[in-house]
Structure 1
Amino acid sequence: MDSSPHRISDVMTRAVVAVGRRTRFRDIVERMEEWQVSALPVLEGDGRVIGVVSEADLLPKEEFRDSDPDRLTQLRRLPDLAKAGAVCAEELMSAPAVTVHPDATLAEAARIMALRHVKRLPVVDAEGFLQGVVSRGDLLKVFLRPDNDLADEMRRDIIDVLFPAPVEPVHIVVRDGVATLTGRVKDAKQIPLAARLVRSVEGVIGVDCRLTAADSDGR
């Protein structure tokens, strides 16, 4: 059970398009369209991430184009109204940027995305320099791991460690990401542990644990 969980550095996109503080509104839209992305990191001249411009930051310009919001709307939507008049990245960006480090786990990144309601995260080093970008789609790549790779990892890091001398061999079959465990083991208490550890292997979609405990007399 020594294998490390996948890290952001394993799945992130390293070729990243970004903009500077003074990048103009239209240039931002053109880069999003060209690269088919929904958000762009905003960088200082030395490559540090200082913010992110997303489609949501750009839309107020269209929303309030020909409207005359009442006072209540002005009070409630003040940040959006400010962005409606923005002309460059510095005025549009959300700051500070929500980022993640390359050594973070996929689960950590998924939690950040869910809590902060973002689809993409700039990946930065300890000094805040841009290393890449990770998207929701990148996090899902782990579920494309080959079945044989999943089975090999489970056998090596879980089954061979938990059950070094089973009553009979513990078998693992993985099909379409679903792992099926069969066989008899000496200690019934280890069955739920085995199922939990197998389920925690990144890329596993489901677990069908059919392990049974041997009789107390060893038969």
Structure 2
Amino acid sequence: MTHAVISVDHGTAFKDIVEALRMWNVSALPVLDQGGQVVGVVSEADLLLKPQGTDTAHDSTTAEQLMTRPAVTVTKDATIPTAARLMARGHLKRLPVVDGYGRLVGVVSRGDLLKVFLRPDEDIGAEIRELLMYQLIPHGPGEVHVHVANGIAYLNGSLPDHAMEDIVVRAVGTVPGVVDVKADFTVPVSA
């Protein structure tokens, strides 16, 4: 996420919003109330659609009148997939990030979400091995080999229980940077 965020106050005038969008080269801005809480988002589309009439009509139009509300936001501890789902559902290019009180702490963009896929395969593999060893199969008789290539996690080996396969595949799929998971497991036969 980007921590240095440009926002506007709910009373910001139309022309000032246009100038802020142009100056910062963004297509939307969070709108804050007096307490710093995100109450809406004003976008280029909002500016083009809502005010009607002459140019003088824009002079008294404010962010509060133009903004889309309620604002779709994500908390600062949300996962990348959660933010991505919210953005996809709402066809949003960026999403305000808020703290537990609804105050703006940053903005996450589509580009920010895609950066995770630039993560080196070696780092992804190390995180998967740690996840398997310390959380998913800490004491079981299973042994899973991990290889990551182009973000695809290849898992093979044995699991202590057949029921764990789906859990392991889903958990590995949540590791940042994983594009897909290919698994080939066996389950040891009990004596």
Q: Which TM-score band (shorter chain)?
A: 0.7 to 0.9
Higher relative contact order (CA 8 A, sep 6+): 1
Shift of 1:179: 0.8
Aligned residue pairs total 188
Considering fraction of residues, name the structure with more strand. 2
Shift of 1:32: 1.4
Structure-2 residue corresponding to 1:34: 23
Listed one character per residue, the Cα deviations across residues 99-133 of structure 1 (whole Å, up to 9, x for unaligned) are 22212223332333333343322222233322111
Unaligned runs of 5+ in 2: none
Structure-1 residue corresponding to 2:150: 176
Identity of aligned residues (%): 50
Runs of 4+ displaced beyond 6 Å: 83-86
Separation in 1, partners of 2:158, 2:75: 42
Q: Which stretch of the first structure deviates more once superposed, 115-124 or 83-92? A: 83-92
Whether 1:156 and 2:145 are equivalent positions in the alignment is no
Query: Aligned match of 2:6 in 7, 11, 17?
Result: 17
Structure-2 residue corresponding to 1:47: 36
CA contact (8 A) 2:14 2:58 kept: no
Separation in 2, partners of 1:190, 1:128: 38
Separation in 2, partners of 1:52, 1:110: 18
Root mean square deviation of aligned Cα: 3.0
Higher-Rg member (1/2):
1
Listed one character per residue, the Cα deviations across residues 160-188 of structure 1 (whole Å, up to 9, x for unaligned) are 64274647x53211111101122344544
Separation in 1, partners of 2:90, 2:63: 20
Shift of 1:57: 0.3
Structure-1 residue corresponding to 2:170: 196
- Which aligned pairs between 1:52-71 and structure 2 lie closer than 5 A? 52-60=41-49
Q: Could you tell me the TM-score, scaled by structure 1's length?
A: 0.71
